[in-house]
RNA sequence: GGAGGGGUGGCAGAGCGGUUGAAUGCACUGGUCUUGAAAACCAGAGUCCGUGAAAGCGGAUCGCGGGUUCGAAUCCCGCCCCCUCCGCCA
């Protein structure tokens, strides 16, 4: 949610920032401004009359106490009451329209968000097997069981079996341990949430066709634990001295992938359910940019220790999503596809989510202030497994695994798939 | 799933439909007193919106949203949450 006061104070700056997301977005802003003016006018009229009504009402109360006849006053007040109601109705109507429209406006992009295209910031590590290697499905064999997964649940579902199941748990345990060392509190959140949590994080209205809905209970399956982590402090006024607050969520993630038909259909690159360790930070407004770089640095540290070649991309304004002001993706080199593909993503959502979720902090000034939130992928398990398999593959089909995982229960290496 | 009870300020806890934004206690912040502290006494504190340069002024807020009424923390309806008992259950 954008700051209405900022819109009033500096509409031109907001308009030109929004214009980077497209002309129709900037047009909505003008309607917001008009509705706001209408609302303020109606509100002021309603509140003025309401003040009179209250004063008169107190006179009636006093009169009754003293045993005076207040019949005439009451008749007059009945008329006032009707007017107050009508004016209040007008104000509420304008406010309703205003809020509805305001909810559809995306966050203001950061001046340094890329435009018009994604910008590759750096390439780290050597992209191996540029001529193509085996892909993760060939390498995994029945350790990734798509056929039986499909028989059970349909397309884009898989069983992870044997060593890969253990490898997944090792990755998760390793990541959570590492993040804890970086000051993140490990959290296992609910994955079924109310609509409010999705509005609060900006996934609604925006990505409705991605989200599983359980109508019998009116609950939604989250596509990322970001939804639950952001809401952990919803409605709270935090002590600024406690900030930053950092959480590492581990959860399954569910995505309908409607509209992605035919895309990335092979293997577990794009599936309906996967596990993910997610970082989430609550920070003071002026600490947001540094925190974003920090999250990116942790993501790079993780990929580095996993010995995966990658590149860092500053995502273009059109691909930011509603809540992000700026977003970095890290794309790992996948020999099986012969290209870099998204493995992690970190967004600075500034005050956009915090305002919707009413998360504030009280600092030196004593005034509660909307804080800033950021999120970033630590380990998207499925895609990380793909990258580990494809980059670790040897000519004989066996797979070398990074040393850091062994201490967390991962096999030292994976034998070639039986064919 | 069935049957009850309840949600009031940071906490505890009052509140016949009419100066109740809300008693009282604790906690908190200033001040007086004191060498200092404690105690005591006095005063002040929430949040949100509008207006204003500011002081201030006005409105909203007793889980949330509607309704009744000249007037609602108090009455009615819907929703959310918490608790107790029974049933079921990893």
pLDDT in tens, A63-99: 777 777 767 777 888 888 888 888 888 888 899 899 9
DSSP of A282-311, one letter per residue? EE-GGGHHHHHHHHHHHHHHHHHHTT--EE
Asked if residue A266 keeps its beta carbon closer than 7 A to nucleic acid strand B, the reply is no
**Sheet arrangement for strand A245-254:** A119-124, A310-314, A326-334, A339-348, A372-380, A273-283, A245-254, A185-187
* Whether A91 and A142 share a structural domain: no
Sequence-distant (6+) residues with CB within 8 A of A196 are A231
Judgement on whether residues A165 and A123 belong to the same structural domain of the protein: yes
Same domain as A277, residue A387: yes
Q: Model confidence over A322-338: pLDDT tens digits?
A: 999 999 999 999 999 99
Domain boundaries, position A19: 4-104
CB A86 within 7 Å, strand B? no
- What secondary structure letter does DSSP report for A122? E
A203-223: string of b/e by CB count within 10 Å (b at 16+)? Answer: bbebeeeebeeeeeeebbbbb
Is there a domain that residue A232 lies in?
yes
* Strand B: positions under 7 A of a protein C-beta atom: 18-19, 47-51, 58-60, 66, 70-71
Q: Going by C-beta distance under 8 Å and a sequence separation of 6 or more, which residues neighbour residue A175?
A: A248, A277, A302, A378, A379
- Whether A129 CB is under 7 Å from strand B: no
- Identify which has the larger pLDDT, A49 or A348: A348
A188/A303 same-domain check: yes
Torsion angles phi and psi, residue A75, rounded to 5: -60, -45
Q: Would residue A251 count as lying in a domain?
A: yes
Q: At what angle do helices A23-65 and A71-104 cross, to 10 degrees?
A: 160
- Classify residue A109: in a domain, yes or no: no
User: A273-283 and A310-314 as β-strands: parallel, antiparallel, unpaired?
Assistant: unpaired
Examine the pLDDT at A363 and tell me if it is beyond 90. Answer: no
What's the CATH code of the domain at A94? Answer: 1.10.287.40
Please check whether residues A202 and A69 belong to one and the same domain: no
Percentage of chain A exceeding pLDDT 70: 100
């Amino acid at each position: 949610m954008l700051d209405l006061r900022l819109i009033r104070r500096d509409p031109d700056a907001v308009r030109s920032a929004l214009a980077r997301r497209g002309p129709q977005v900037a047009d909505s802003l003008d309607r917001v401004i008009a509705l706001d003016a209408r609302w303020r006018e109606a509100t002021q009229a309603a509140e003025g009359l309401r003040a009179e009504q209250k004063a008169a009402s107190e006179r009636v109360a006093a009169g009754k106490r003293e045993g005076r006849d207040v019949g005439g006053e009451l008749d007059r007040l009945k008329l006032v009451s009707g007017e107050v109601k009508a004016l209040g109705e007008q104000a509420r109507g304008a406010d309703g329209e205003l809020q509805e429209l305001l909810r559809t406006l995306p966050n203001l992009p950061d001046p340094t968000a890329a435009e018009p295209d994604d910008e590759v910031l750096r390439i780290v590590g050597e992209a191996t097997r540029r001529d193509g290697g085996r892909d993760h499905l060939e390498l995994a064999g029945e350790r990734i069981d798509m056929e039986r997964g499909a028989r059970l649940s349909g397309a884009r579902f898989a069983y992870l079996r044997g060593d890969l199941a253990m490898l997944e748990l090792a990755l998760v345990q390793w990541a959570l341990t590492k993040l804890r060392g970086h000051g993140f509190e490990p959290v296992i959140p609910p994955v079924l949430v109310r609509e409010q949590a999705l509005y609060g994080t900006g996934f609604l209205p925006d990505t409705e066709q991605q989200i599983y809905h359980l109508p019998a209970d009116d609950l939604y399956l989250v596509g990322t634990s970001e939804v639950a982590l952001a809401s952990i402090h919803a409605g709270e006024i935090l002590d600024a001295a406690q900030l930053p607050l950092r959480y590492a969520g581990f959860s399954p993630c569910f995505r309908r992938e409607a509209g992605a038909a035919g895309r990335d259909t092979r293997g577990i690159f794009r599936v309906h359910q996967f596990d993910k360790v997610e970082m989430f930070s609550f920070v003071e407004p002026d600490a947001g940019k540094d925190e974003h770089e920090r999250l990116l640095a942790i993501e790079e540290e993780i990929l580095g220790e996993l010995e995966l070649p990658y590149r860092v991309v500053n995502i273009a304004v059109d691909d930011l999503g509603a809540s992000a002001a700026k977003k970095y993706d890290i794309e790992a080199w996948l020999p099986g596809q012969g290209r870099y593909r998204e493995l992690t993503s970190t967004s600075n959502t500034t005050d956009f989510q915090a305002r919707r979720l009413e998360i504030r902090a009280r600092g030196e000034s004593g005034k509660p202030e909307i804080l800033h939130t950021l999120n970033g992928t630590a380990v998207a398990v499925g895609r990380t497994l793909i990258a580990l398999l494809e980059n670790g593959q040897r000519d004989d089909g066996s797979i070398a695994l990074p040393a850091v995982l062994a201490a967390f229960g991962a096999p030292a290496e994976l034998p070639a798939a039986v064919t």
